[in-house]
Structure 1
Amino acid sequence: MALVDMTVVEQRYRAVLAVEQGEPRYQVAAQFGVSRQTLHTWITRYRADGLAGLASRSHRPDSCPHQASETVEVAVCEMRRGNPRWGPRRIAHELAPRFGAQAPSRSTVARILHRNGLVEPRRRRKLRSDYRRWERPEPMALWQLDIVGGIHLRAPDGTVTEAKIVTGVDDHSRFAVIATVMVRATGRAVCLAFADALRRYGIPDEVLSDNGKQFTARFGRGGEVLFDRICRDNAITHRLTQPATPTTTGKVERFHQTLRRELLDHAEPFDTLTAAQAALDSWIADYNCTRPHQAIEMACPVDRFAPSQHQRGDEDLLPLRLPARLTAAPVPAEGPEHPGPAPDDETSTEIEIYRGGPVEFERVVPASGNLAVLGKQFWLGPLRAGVTITFWADAQVIHLSAGGARIKTVRSPYTDDQLATLAATGGRPAGPPPLPPAEPDGTAIEIDRTVSRLGNIALAGHWHPAAEILGGRRVTIRIDDHVLLIFDPETRELLRTRPNPLTYDQARHLRGARPAGPPPRPSTEPVTVTRRVSATGTIMIARQLIALGRDQARTVVTAHVAEHTITVDLVDGAQRTVSRTSTGAIRNLKAQIDRTVS
């Protein structure tokens, strides 16, 4: 029997004829592989329209009450053609006041643009929810700073050179706090722009920048750059990005993209630096006060920005402190780029003139712990990396202090001319030397020691117990009348207390003895827990997995959990100390009872 191809209409017609001839509908529906409801629909259409009613029909609705009107679609297309850089979000924001309740949504605008060929189809990017976004909760909490090129100057002879722009954006509001054009982005020019922003808007809590040599000496030779000194003098925390991670300063980088698209890519070379700055200032005023920003719910940056209390003149706060060499800027031939404050300005800094004698200055210890100043190296150790050291120097002796406490005293290699150089590069005339008082009886003393592997410290030729958990750790010991306070030298967090076995005369003759600083802050004692080792030789404490080895399987061990370490007492008497990598709470103090029957 030859197979005969039937059209859809013929198949439906045969099903209807079978029903008309008296066959049960459920059998006919099963024979043709459709539901009884579909078969009923065919019969109704055939009786109403004949054979034409069995043809396939479109499922498209006759009308859609939510479809955008032709007026809205025309408005969207006209706005896109007049502003080719505007996307669906901006167009929807601009049309909202015009159409009110009939205004299209962002997705509606996107479909209209696609339908009319006004956008190029491209691969869809990640959703906003896929990104981890961070933002400071209030203005003046963090500024992001960077340097960008792309603005050109035309010399009188017709040559064109590229200038630089120092930019700064408030993290919370996206308000541009710094936008200064300069011929060369030197460290001093960058600091002048930064100082001008501090005078205008106040002092932020933190600043974030990359590792440029204008901002830090992190990858250069040891020392402190001028930018870091301004931050330190004004209690500003300076944060640096990791190398090759521009997304950390993503907000100021995104600001650069907008600046290039809307100004730099279309601007002709400027004749003078003043003309370039005027054009940039005009664009910044529109960016801050008029232009809506998508990242802050289409608000203007000025709506979310507020200067700090320092800028509003709060007399209870500390005034702005700037180095003497930043109180006035050099005046170029065409006019002042960023003039400093007038001599009677309340923000001006008093200039201290060096007239000989001892000098005080600060330097930051590099990662190596070997600090170099004018060719002279001072060993302070890697444990003090990042600590600010104050130098008191004259032609005979140098005293090094940190946190108000003297660390060491060495013979001075500097001449009077070198001292003058130190005074001119961030130094100042020094006061009295930081020596111990003449009658120090009863005064606390501090020393630095390394705890032995067994948890002991060496004092006056004898070993004294500290704590086994501190084995191998560098600590500072405060020697009071009757007690030894052992604490962390960086955080000044109290680790242990022990009875004082020394007299005052013995204590003040110890190696590295110095007058004590403020008392350490108390810390909680380690929490002791017990755990049963698993068959694979691991235990779990505060959601941290610790491997002890299969030889410890199914034994019960005791662990001492401190803030930064976990020390495990093994059954054979040995100890295992690991760094604590979790901050979760300890929920179980005792080991779980193994109820399995072997």
Structure 2
Amino acid sequence: MRRAHQRWGARRISFELSRTGLDPGPSRATVHRVLVRNGLVDPHAQQRKRAWNRWERDAPMQLWQLDIVDGMRLPNGRQCKIVTGLDDHSRFAVVAAVVARPTGKAICAAFTAAMDRYGEPEEVLTDNGKQFTGRHTKPMPVEVLFERICRQRGIVQRLTKIRSPTTTGKVERFHHSLQQEFLNHCAPFPDLPSAQAALDGWVDAYNTRRPHQSLDMATPATRFHRPVIAAAATLRQPSRPQRPAAASVPALAELRAVELHLSVPPSGALSLAGRQLVWVGKAFAGRTVHLWADQRSIHLAVAGEHLKTVPSRLSIDDLHQLTARGGRAAGPTPAASALHPDDALGATAVQVHRTANRDGNVQLAGQRIQLGADYAGQRITLRMDGHLLHVIADDHLARTLPSPVPADQRGRLVGAQRVDTPLPPPRGGAPAVRRRVPADGVTMVAGQRLRIGRVHAGKTVTIAVEDTHYRAYYDGEELGAYPQTGKPAVRVTRTAHRAGQTPVRPACPDNEPSTIS
């Protein structure tokens, strides 16, 4: 067996002999001594084992580990990449896709295809590659396509530390087996479909027939429960993903809500059922406010305009007391629910409302955010989603900045609310220019080189100029986002649209081309 399978060790040979019907089969130590005696194992060449802090999820589909590896060769000498993914609990290979170029779109296509087949995992763990995260993009972080898919599907994305490959050790060990058992013995493939078909055959054997030592010589498929997962996947609707609610948040239908009108006292604070004080402000003394309350949230509105949302400490009996004061059964909630400090946020976006001071600045978690004098005195909405902070004013997206508040501390912000509505559009849309892509695939905007790609040579693309980066579009499809690394784009000059020219994408609302320097 050892001569036929050079990579089989004593444990694997002992297991294979027991499968042939030997009872009892030779122990692992016996097999090792036989191999040493016949010169098939050098006892001095054994690697010294290191002590690792091992961990594993309790059940399948709780965590997937994803990565990219080299290996596939074509006759022209080109090296293709392989997108790999492993279920953490079962070591089941859920992703194994050959791609010509490891672009973000190709990686996301392989990821979504795996989710359509097996279902959506609760979490996904990757390294800090630019295909997986825009957290380290310079000069400003951005949200890449992979992060957007995780956010929209409610998947918690986890990243390893910089230069820490052992965190994704399971998928790295899968790469070692892939290289030793498959790639080292393959000649160049004629094309990508042939390479993918050969890889699928090896992965099927890895999942269903090859015993795994870390699983006590069981196959990954026996721990993955593939039939159950596949049946569940057929019932999913991946085209309309929904964000899962946190386990600690009760459904609104199970709560009794009350709404009523109250007059603000001279102190500026409303007393609700003798249990909770809600600060409105002395500036509203004598005015009537509309109050909507349940056991989770308290919403206040003045003259039909939402004023604030605070967590509720009211009980069912307190809601009955408010009913006795003139309240009535409430209608739908007027705003997003409040957050409590102990809520599990997961991939949920969080927003707070603040009023800009006379200098156009707002305070968030003790840090000052400068918006500009144009926003002085305005009510500003700050939405934190992932590692980004979106500033919303007058129902328009004003700008996007790095979030100064970690995700695990956002529930403690005053007035924090859950939000799952899409971001509003920027005011007036982003200025845009048109460029014809040259043969080398690189075009210039404001003195910065944008690598659109040789495959788009000869096309006329639209480039939207946003606060921190450029976005290239062609026929309504986004080709890529490019952080602004040079001087900022200033002096935006719009010219009249000439007849016969292709209109600009709606990123420029008046369909007029722009000249940007």
Question: Normalising by the residue count of structure 1, what TM-score does the alignment of the two structures yield?
Answer: 0.43
**Which of the pair has more CA radius of gyration?**
1
The structure, 1 or 2, with the larger RCO (C-alpha pairs under 8 Å, 6+ apart) is 2
Answer 1 or 2: which has greater strand percent: 2
Question: Normalising by the residue count of structure 2, what TM-score does the alignment of the two structures yield?
Answer: 0.50
